[in-house]
Amino acid sequence: MRTTMKKILWAVCATAVLGMFLPAAVPAADEIVFGVIEPLSGPFKDVGDRYVNGAKFAIEQINAEGGLLGKKVVAAVEDDALKPAIAARKAKKLILKKKTKFIMTGTGSHITLSLAKVAKKYKVINLTYGTEAAKITGSAFTPYTFRCCLNTDQHSAAIVEYMVRKYPQYKKYYIICQDYAFGREAAEGFKKKFKEIAPKGARIVGEIFHPIATKDFAPYVSAIMASGAEVVLSGNWGTDLRLLIKHGASLGWKVRLGNYFLNDPLVLQEVGKDSIGHVAADAYMITIDTPENKAFLAKWATKYKDAPLAYRYPTLSTGRAYYAVRFMAEAIRKAGTTDVQKVIKAWEGMEFQAAWGKVRMRACDHQMITPGVASEVLPTSEYFDFPYVGKPMIIPAEAITTPPAETGNPRCK
């Protein structure tokens, strides 16, 4: 038994070693490769899956419309397990083996920051359609990095704008965020905007940072309830969002929660009616009421009608990834070449028509300037059989844009 097992193990190892030296496919000359790097294993797989599907769908559409610069666009997808070192390794592989000049991710600011180092070294474009840390386009800026999603300042501002405009009667705000870089930045964003536009007499009555993956929110909820808060602002995601809402509702809190990620069906499916009346904001939502968006949803349905819940509709990240890739493709088209320096030049300051309105790539920090959308969770939805966000309020770009001088980017003075 023991020796047989040893022999089998030995054979497996030997096969493995041989397998490693199999040649990798080299792309054809008439292809443009977009390298998509996302977590496709581990607990964040569903997040990664969505981005990949959004990006892939954009690439299919581009090809269906005749390709890019007369070439076919190909998606090369790699799993980074949400680890910067692995993301960097995969990016190098894509760049050196598949000759890609465009790498992208939407999950984890640390991944984008790590990829920025690789992109700078090998001089390729590093696109993010989902990582929000301000310093990506701020203090850690490199000319190769472009961001086609909201940053934390914009995202927080959109939520505060919605609350203040729609519910000027609320006077007591409370901030609860996860105790790490993203949570802290989200809170900063809330406070900055609140200070700017707070109704008379309104104030922030409390601010709390809890550890990531907190199991019991009851102590926090009780503290919030004791403060008499009417609005709770939060950047929480994942279980920290679901449990905050569930434990809040079970203890009978009477607050309106404004959050970054509430338009995620995976969250709303679980928390169900406890989420009604809470507010989400983003750059894109499927409930946007424009003909362009209707057309986009119809096209999406042709491919993903029976897909898993996470990307059956282009909710949350999928829609963003789609438009980001389209935007980049337009920049490449405008440059007329895949030469990276020329694409950078062409993209800077460029405008693009997205489903929710006009967006622009700010030249100095490569941050997409866009209107925001914010909406409340309604009891019923035409898309899902659980409560989901309704038609959004469009918040103009000027209301949520960080002035260049405040970005911390040396190029923006």
Partner 1 sequence: MTHTRTKNVLTVLIVLAALVVLPYLLTEVQLNMAIEIAFFSLFAVSYNLLLGYGGVLSFGHAAYFGTGAYFMVFALKYVAGMPILPAVLVSGVAAGLTAAIVGFFCVRLGGSYFALLTLAFNQLIYAIALKWRSLTGGDDGIGLDKHDMYLPFVGNLDTMSTFTVYYLTVIIVLISLWLIRFFLKTPYGNTVACVKDNEERAAFIGYNVFRSKLVLFTMAGFFAGIAGALFAFFEEFVSLDSINMAMSTEVLFMAFIGGTGSFLGPVLGAAVFIYFTEWVSDITEHWEFFLGVLFVLLILYANRGIIGLIPEKIKNFWSPRSASAGER
Partner 2 sequence: MEAYAVQAVHGVVYGMLLFLVTSGLTLVFGMMGVLNMAHAAFYMVGAYFTYSLVQWTGSFWLCLLLAPIGVGIIGAFVERALLRKVHTFGHAHELMLTFGIFYILAEVVKWIWGTYPLTVVAPDVLNGSVPFLSATYPTYRLFILLVSVIVLFILAFIMQKTRIGIIVRAAVFDNEMVDILGVNVQLVFLGVFSIGSALAGLAGVVAAPFLSTYPGMGLEILVDAFVVIVIGGFGSVWGALLAALMIGELQSFGIMLIPELALVFQFLLMAIVLVWRPQGLFGESA
What's the min distance (Å) between Cβ of 191 and partner 2? 16
Q: What gap in Å lies between CA 113 and CA 84, rounded to an integer?
A: 8
Residue with tokens 């993203």: 182
**Is 64 a residue that touches partner 1 (CB under 8 A)?**
no
3-state secondary structure of 294: helix
Residue among 20, 26, 29, 64 that touches partner 1 (CB under 8 A): 20
Q: What is the CA radius of gyration of the chain?
A: 22
Count of residues binding partner 2 (CB under 8 A)? 36
* Cβ contacts of 81-86, under 8 Å, gap ≥ 24: 81/39, 81/40, 81/41, 81/42, 82/39, 82/42, 82/44, 82/48, 82/107, 82/108, 82/111, 84/108, 84/110, 84/111, 84/113, 84/114, 85/114
- Nearest distance in Å: CB 1, partner 1: 8
DSSP 334-396: HHTS--HHHHHHHHTT-EEEETTEEEEE-TTT-BEE--EEEEEEES--SS-SS-EE-SPEEE-
Site for partner 2 in 132-151 (CB under 8 A): none
Please list every residue from 212 through 231 that binds partner 2, using CB under 8 A: 213, 215-216, 218-220, 222-223, 225-226
Q: Of 74-82, 185-193, 240-248, 277-285, which segment contacts partner 2 by CB under 8 A? A: 240-248
Pairwise CA distance, residues 183 & 232, whole Å: 14
> 299 to 338, contacts with partner 2 by CB under 8 A?
308-310
Only one residue has tokens 């998509």, namely 36
Q: Which of residues 354-383 bind partner 2 (CB under 8 A)?
A: none
Q: Strands 372-378, 368-369: parallel, antiparallel or unpaired by DSSP?
A: unpaired
Q: Which does 405 bind (CB under 5 to 8 A by kind): partner 2, partner 1, none?
A: none
Rounded to 5°, angle at Cα 195 from 191 and 196 = 120
Least distance between partner 2 and beta carbon 117 (Å): 28
Report the partner that residue 308 touches, choosing among partner 1, partner 2, none (CB closer than 5 to 8 A by kind): partner 2
Query: Given the structure tokens 């406070």, which residue do they identify?
Result: 191
Binding mask 243-262 for partner 2 (x = CB under 8 A): x--x---xxx----------
Per-residue string for binding with partner 2, 165-194, x by CB under 8 A?
Answer: --------------x---------------
Residue holding tokens 């989400």?
280
To the nearest whole angstrom, how small is the minimum distance from the Cβ of residue 119 to partner 2?
A: 28
Residue 246's binding partner among partner 1, partner 2, none (Cβ under 5 to 8 angstroms by kind) is partner 2
Q: How far is it, in rounded angstroms, from Cα 127 to Cα 305? A: 28
CB under 5 to 8 A by kind: which of partner 2, partner 1, none does 110 bind? partner 1
Residues 110-139 that bind partner 1 (CB under 8 A): 110, 113-114, 116-117, 121, 133, 135
Q: Which DSSP letter does residue 262 get? A: T
Q: Which residues of this chain interact with partner 1, rule CB under 8 A?
A: 2, 5-6, 9-10, 12-13, 16-17, 19-20, 40-42, 45, 79, 81, 83-86, 88-89, 92-93, 96-97, 109-110, 113-114, 116-117, 121, 133, 135, 140, 179-182, 184
